[in-house]
Amino acid sequence: MLQIMQNNQPTPQPHHSALQHVTGQSVFVNDMGFGGQLLFGRVVFSQQAHANIRSICTQQARAAEGVVAVLTAADIPGLNQMGPVVPDEPCLATDQVSFFGQAVALIAARTEAAARKAASLVNIEYEPLPAITDLGRAIAENSFLTGPRQIATGDVGKAFENAEHVLNGTLHTGAQEHWYLETQSCMCVPEEAGQMMVYSSTQHPAETQAIVAQVLAMPANAVTVEVKRMGGAFGGKETQANHIAAWTALLAHATQHPVKTHLFRDDDQMMTGKRHRFRSEYRAAYNANGCLLALDVALHSDGGAALDLSVAILERAMFHIDNAYYIPNLRVTGQVWKTNLPPNTAFRGFGGPQGIAVVETVIDRIARTLHKDAAEIRKLNFYKNGQSTHYGQQLNEVRLEKLFGRLTDFSHYPALRRETEVFNKENEFIKKGLALTPVKFGISFTTSFLNQAGALVHIYRDGSVQVNHGGTEMGQGLHTKMLEVACRSLGLPPERVIVTATNTSKVPNTSATAASSGSDLNGMAVKNAIDKLISRLAPIAQSLMKISTDDALVFADGKVAPKGHPDKGIAFDELVTQAYLHQVSLSATGYYRTPGLFFDNTAGKGTPFYYFAYGMAVSQVQLDTLTGDHRILKTYIVHDVGDSINTAIDLGQIEGGFVQGVGWCTTEEIKWDDKGFLTTHSPDTYKIPGVRNIPEVFEVEIARDMPNPGTIQNSKAVGEPPLMLALSVWLALKDAISAVGNHQQEPPFDLPATNDSMLKWVEEMRKLQ
């Protein structure tokens, strides 16, 4: 094994796999082998958006060279079902397909090439049915997955009657492809007594285990899921990694061979769900100062062909329709519509970005009509301590004003505004734009019972420690943080502790690593396990040191010592040996559930979030109004992460999340043709941000002195919130387009602001002149 040279250990702690990453030693599912036994899986998927299946002919494929098995729905021993929340997703289509990319048949072959060849030999005869691939049409034809829901506060009707100013509009926000670098992957190994070992790239091992068990008609205890690491996930492997696991397990079960399936990039893009596109209709009332009096929004979400997590995602959009602003009269309704597209799914932000984009548009428009700087209007409307959200949760630790003060200083906001204006006066075709946007993001799963986690910590006789927990590593640095939590609690250096692969046989019944809650939940569970171990070790230590059981102990620097007497300590290893000899258990489970969460769905009231994370960004862009090209000249971010467990990891989450958000707002555009075929099915046409699409000046500050009591090491979640700060880039682009008309008209604007859309909007602005 590799060993890093420790001589100049940089602080903070690097990612716990950094050495493996940079040397190419990190093992991903597709890097795993199994000698000559291994077969390669492939999925044959629907080439129609909506059709009856007349026949599936697998004869030719079966006869092809190297093919070991071809399976269809009839070959599923268990339930043909993999819907994560409601049973509306067949594992393999039977008599009907409802989206292009839906799995119909499976192939296992001796080589990847043979599997690929055989897939083209499966002949499916379709009888096409009318397909809905457009959200507008789904709404018009009343094709829905769920009925409407509502959350409201105050008296919206009355507020509009009395309002000085009212504005209304419709905002379209686009879909987004996760584009994890590692496509969906799974390897399944049949084991003795009919058990199944599943090596998966999943954010939710427990659910993957449950679905595999379900399709194989096995009890959960016969299926073990292990996740070493994912090559990115971003929500795309929260439910939809279950699919490939189920397919691979079916093949492994049928052939009794180990089988590995790794989706080809284009297939992954065509088969899997995306961030939900939304159509949002809004109406806002405000006064002459720009104070928001009422907001009335109808959110229409495109769920695709099955429900997946759409309800929770819509709910989060509804919870975030206020973003950072106190709106006394607010009504938000939402509905998930059904289209013949792959079921849309979790994506970093989980509905939050779609909701926040609406209210940020409203504020931006208020500022434009009042000819004021939008940052001022934002500040005016910020929540204050003691105010409650539209779902009735009181806010007590609002950090918006503090962040605003720091950010406007740090970015020299007023100077940037002046510079932007002067530049725009002097330039006809190149325009600059500027925007400041905040985020307030609720932390917790909004389905309250999901807020639980487990851990299993072993201390071995040599004093080395193994930490198992229910969270998965997808690059976000969770294992690094857990390592640090364990090291800090036990007072051990990182070399003495290993965080293992996530395994359902170590920690069962876990929730997905999602909702930014990985460190919050698992950190507390790890701490809980270690606290138990410490309470077992303490009496041994006290008796070894001949001190009273009332005397406090400090675990630090590999030693245990009476508080205030570090010189009198004994080595941790020695203590462990003694504990073992004294027949003390050196293994403990840990458990945590977030206290005090509830939400009453019918009333639309409750406390769904444990706390809120805050952040704020200023971005300045430059738009070439003749080509639609833009540059992000400057971005400044101040973000609240409580007391950071690892500033390098948090910085990486802020920057990476922000840039991913920039992609959603600008270059990432998903297009389906009217037959439901994804025309942007590879990176040739689907453009995520590259190295030159990041801000040219990119300064991120982690807000100081803002501990978050009641969480692990007083930290805050950081995975999702920064993504929404990319709306500063989006609205800065709008500001640049608005400058074409000298800020006299409201420019047409939607999301994403691609170069070709911006050219069209600029053209419309010019026509209005």
Which residues participate in catalysis according to the annotation? 720
- Which residue, 444 or 502, has its beta carbon nearer to ligand FES? 502
Indicate the residue whose CB is closest to ligand FES: 181
Tokens (6 digits) for 305: 């062909």
Q: Please, what is the minimum distance in Å from the beta carbon of residue 180 to ligand FES?
A: 7
Distance CA 80, CA 93 (A): 9
Q: In the chain, how many H helices and how many E strands? A: 19, 29
Q: Which of 498, 515, 534, 533 is nearest to 453 (CA)?
A: 515
- Which residue, 28 or 580, has its beta carbon nearer to other proteins? 28
Q: Please, what is the minimum distance in Å from the beta carbon of residue 659 to other proteins?
A: 4
Q: Please, what is the minimum distance in Å from the beta carbon of residue 692 to ligand FES?
A: 16
In this structure, what DSSP letter does residue 176 have?
B
Tell me the one-letter amino acid at 568. K
- Which residue, 113 or 571, has its beta carbon nearer to other proteins? 113
Backbone angles phi, psi at 556, to 5 degrees: -155, 150
22 is a site residue for ligand FES (CB under 6 A)? no
Choosing among ligand FES, other proteins, none, which partner's interface includes residue 698 (Cβ < 5 to 8 Å by kind)? other proteins
Site for ligand FES in 642-701 (CB under 6 A): none
Distance CA 524, CA 502 (A): 16
217 is a site residue for ligand FES (CB under 6 A)? no
Q: Which of 348, 277, 435 is nearest to 722 (CA)?
A: 348
- Which residue, 267 or 364, has its beta carbon nearer to other proteins? 267
Q: Please, what is the minimum distance in Å from the beta carbon of residue 185 to ligand FES?
A: 14
- Which residue, 57 or 181, has its beta carbon nearer to ligand FES? 181
End-to-end Cα, the chain, rounded Å? 68
- Which residue, 329 or 666, has its beta carbon nearer to other proteins? 666
Q: What DSSP letter does each residue of 686-701 carry, written as one string? A: S----GGGS-SEEEEE
Distance CA 60, CA 185 (A): 26
Choosing among other proteins, ligand FES, none, which partner's interface includes residue 591 (Cβ < 5 to 8 Å by kind)? none
Backbone angles phi, psi at 319, to 5 degrees: -65, -25
CA angle 35, 37, 42 (to 5 degrees): 105
Q: Please, what is the minimum distance in Å from the beta carbon of residue 710 to ligand FES?
A: 31
Q: Please, what is the minimum distance in Å from the beta carbon of residue 232 to ligand FES?
A: 5
Q: Please, what is the minimum distance in Å from the beta carbon of residue 647 to ligand FES?
A: 18
Among 63, 113, 181, 626, binds ligand FES (CB under 6 A): 181
Choosing among ligand FES, other proteins, none, which partner's interface includes residue 460 (Cβ < 5 to 8 Å by kind)? none
Choosing among ligand FES, other proteins, none, which partner's interface includes residue 430 (Cβ < 5 to 8 Å by kind)? other proteins
- Which residue, 558 or 683, has its beta carbon nearer to ligand FES? 683
- Which residue, 66 or 710, has its beta carbon nearer to other proteins? 66
- Is 540 in a helix, a strand, or coil? helix
Q: Please, what is the minimum distance in Å from the beta carbon of residue 18 to other proteins?
A: 5
Choosing among other proteins, ligand FES, none, which partner's interface includes residue 682 (Cβ < 5 to 8 Å by kind)? other proteins
Distance CA 182, CA 200 (A): 12
Q: Distances from the Cα of 537 to the Cαs of 463, 558, 582, 584, 689, in angstroms? A: 12, 14, 10, 8, 51
- Which residue, 160 or 179, has its beta carbon nearer to other proteins? 179
- Which residue, 3 or 583, has its beta carbon nearer to other proteins? 3
Q: Which of 330, 219, 341, 209 is nearest to 674 (CA)?
A: 341
Distance CA 306, CA 103 (A): 14
Choosing among other proteins, ligand FES, none, which partner's interface includes residue 179 (Cβ < 5 to 8 Å by kind)? other proteins
Site for ligand FES in 230-259 (CB under 6 A): 232
Is residue 53 a contact partner of residue 96, using CB atoms and an 8 Å limit? yes
Is residue 488 a contact partner of residue 714, using CB atoms and an 8 Å limit? no
Tokens (6 digits) for 485: 């939590």
- Which residue, 4 or 181, has its beta carbon nearer to ligand FES? 181
Q: Binding-site residue total for ligand FES (CB under 6 A)?
A: 3
Q: Please, what is the minimum distance in Å from the beta carbon of residue 273 to ligand FES?
A: 20
Distance CA 766, CA 759 (A): 10
Q: Please, what is the minimum distance in Å from the beta carbon of residue 689 to other proteins?
A: 8
Query: Cα–chain-centroid distance for residue 328?
Result: 30
Q: Distances from the Cα of 690 to the Cαs of 65, 429, 659, 686, 687, in angstroms? A: 41, 25, 9, 12, 8
Distance CA 4, CA 310 (A): 44
Distance CA 130, CA 675 (A): 9
- Which residue, 209 or 269, has its beta carbon nearer to ligand FES? 269
Is residue 616 a contact partner of residue 402, using CB atoms and an 8 Å limit? no
Residue with tokens 């950072």: 324
Q: Please, what is the minimum distance in Å from the beta carbon of residue 648 to other proteins?
A: 4
Choosing among other proteins, ligand FES, none, which partner's interface includes residue 72 (Cβ < 5 to 8 Å by kind)? none
475 is a site residue for ligand FES (CB under 6 A)? yes
Q: What are the residues whose beta carbons fall under 8 Å from the beta carbon of 530, sequence distance 6 or more? A: 457, 486, 489, 490, 588, 590
Choosing among ligand FES, other proteins, none, which partner's interface includes residue 692 (Cβ < 5 to 8 Å by kind)? other proteins
Residue with tokens 């809120």: 612
Q: Please, what is the minimum distance in Å from the beta carbon of residue 700 to ligand FES?
A: 17
Backbone angles phi, psi at 588, to 5 degrees: -145, 145
Tokens (6 digits) for 116: 């690929």
Q: Please, what is the minimum distance in Å from the beta carbon of residue 637 to other proteins?
A: 11
- Which residue, 232 or 470, has its beta carbon nearer to ligand FES? 232
Going edge to edge, which strands form the sheet with 497-499?
Answer: 497-499, 465-469, 452-459, 587-593
Q: What DSSP letter does each residue of 577-629 carry, written as one string? A: HHHHHTT---EEEEEEE-TT-EEETTTTEEE--SEEEEEEEEEEEEEETTT--
Q: Distances from the Cα of 579 to the Cαs of 437, 462, 552, 584, in angstroms? A: 55, 11, 18, 5
Residues making contact with ligand FES (CB under 6 A): 181, 232, 475
